[in-house]
Structure 1
């Protein structure tokens, strides 16, 4: 999990893919955290992406930095605990401008299943199980 978190932080922006009915949807994200031994992302529960992840928990993340890229495939689940939300804010201080751990819109989701594959133009792919 650590290699995945480090890669996504280095990339700064990563792209999360969800599904809406039969249409893929992709949007930029930028916050990740590890809490309670799990890999977390976050969003706002008024956004379509949150609703999509509730209806179909399967997601993919992709990012590139330098000549390397990652594809993380898995399933997510919302975590309502204030402690998990606070851990996300602590790991990503820029979120303090948008959310509070106990507000009504901030959501954190963790991977219940997940595998990251790291690719480059020069090396064989590597995998890391994150959940």
Structure 2
């Protein structure tokens, strides 16, 4: 091979090396993207398992049936009373009360509440409970009042089947933060794999 032929071959080899580097770079990017997608999918799945949706919280409250709500009394001392979750509507959890009750006056003055509910099972270690903190917001929502009245025979009778009854008040919760737990994860007890992990929620 002549000198001139050798010089002519160098650009071809350089071009080939550049193509190989480019191909290697592209493959590295593709592999990185695939790994990122897989990791993101796994993390999303784990997060989904650890956190509850609003509809799940509503279903849990329905299943429990009766909850206990803590408010700050007009005397500044905590008050706890049984309440019943009524309906989920428009992405909100709704409850109701009567405007003549002390609970109404307490929530108007200080809307922050804590709520806890549970239903003891025969195998008590499988018992779950839900607890949350939130802010109560009163709203004159006729549609919600009608839904509650259709659901609850007590409310239906108490307000004489009149959704516009002046004493009938409804409120929803906002700034909700809580968790669903079970007795299998009580501190001091050995954690068992057959129990669901505690799930948190925030809305």
**TM-score greater than 0.5 by the shorter chain:** yes
Alpha-carbon distance in 2 for matches of 1:4, 1:101: 26
- Conserved? CA contact 2:85–2:93, under 8 Å: no
Task: Determine if the alignment matches structure 1 residue 108 to structure 2 residue 198.
Answer: no
Q: Which residue of 1 aligns with 2:56?
A: 3
Q: CA deviation at 1:36?
A: 1.7
Gaps of 5+ in 1: none
Q: Secondary structure at the match of 1:41?
A: strand
Q: Which residue of 2 aligns with 1:117?
A: 179
Q: Which residue of 2 aligns with 1:78?
A: 138
Structure having the higher Rg: 2
Q: CA deviation at 1:78?
A: 0.3
CA RMSD of aligned residues (A): 1.6
Q: Secondary structure at the match of 2:164?
A: coil
Q: CA deviation at 1:22?
A: 2.5
Q: Secondary structure at the match of 1:101?
A: coil
Gaps of 5+ in 2: 1-53, 122-126, 185-195
Q: CA deviation at 1:77?
A: 0.6
Q: Which residue of 117, 131, 134 maps to 1:63?
A: 117
Point out the structure with the larger strand share: 1
Q: CA deviation at 1:71?
A: 0.4
Alpha-carbon distance in 1 for matches of 2:103, 2:172: 15
Q: Which residue of 150, 156, 161 maps to 1:90?
A: 150
- Conserved? CA contact 1:59–1:74, under 8 Å: yes
Alpha-carbon distance in 1 for matches of 2:140, 2:84: 20
Normalising by structure 1, we get a TM-score of 0.89
Normalising by structure 2, we get a TM-score of 0.60
